Amino acid sequence: MPFPTSIAEATVLHNGVRMPWLGLGVWKTQNGQETVDAVTAAIRNGYRAIDTAAIYKNEESVGRAIAESGVNRNELFITTKVWNDDQGYDSTLRAFEKSRELLGLDVIDLYLVHWPGKDKFKETYRALETLYNDGKVRAIGVSNFKVHHLEELMGSCSIKPMVNQVEFHPLLTQKELLNFCRKHSIQLEAWSPLMQGNLDIPLLKELGDKYGKTPAQIVLRWDLQHGVVTIPKSVHEHRIKENADVFDFQLSDAEMEAIDGLNQDKRFGPDPDEFLF
């Protein structure tokens, strides 16, 4: 695949919708001015994708920043997610309407099932299909789904997920999942790409020194060269800007493999097979 060379570039989902390669995540960003300022800073620095979720409790502030940005709505790609307590067909439809109202948007660009859980995700996803068919969302998908969850869902759904957003970083490379998603044209997206700040790894520093980049920038470039959409979070404008400064260099195949070799199957978040509800 050709590697993205600017923050303006996007991948094309299997339904033809364009999704930016790099976006801002707002997990743990406080509702109110902190979220407004972070989203405003991101948009000012060329970001066009913002990723939130009902459980983050900051959709309203994301919506405010979007409304005040002065950027044409059609240029932005906004993702939110249905939380576990709202899983089920009717409750998902209600949760979506609440998210849409808080965001102040007529159409959501991407709506995701946040976690698979035990036994409701197929019913929940059926609601996403309804929203998609009704034109209320431009794309639908899942988050934190392993291969077996995807296989189970794809055995019953009528619209294949367009995106699977999972924990993905050099200590959790998820090769089997990445290959499965590639094979089935499901776009993999990385949350916690920067390992919640656990970047003190000699190889990343060494490569950073070589390219004049930070370890964080090396990891984000590694994501992009794997064809993985990535959504680093920050509330500081200098860091938001720095996270986007990853389009002017390219890691070699050997360097990509070396970073892959850091894998420890280590999660900083929950294991989807153990986070049951």
Across the chain, which distance is largest between two alpha carbons, in Å? 53
Q: Which residues pair with 223 in a beta bridge?
A: none
What's the sign of the alpha-carbon dihedral 26, 29, 150, 181?
positive
Name the residue type at position 57: K
* CA 241/CA 123 separation, integer angstroms: 40
Enumerate the active-site residues.
56
Contact status, residue 60 vs residue 31, Cβ threshold 8 Å: yes
- Considering only CA atoms, which of 87, 90, 85, 77 is closest in space to residue 11? 77
Count the Cβ atoms, other than its own, within 10 Å of residue 159: 16
Contact status, residue 167 vs residue 194, Cβ threshold 8 Å: no
* CA 61/CA 31 separation, integer angstroms: 6
230 — phi, psi (to 5°)? -135, 145
- Considering only CA atoms, which of 19, 17, 21 is closest in space to residue 7? 21
CA angle 17, 176, 113 (to 5 degrees): 45
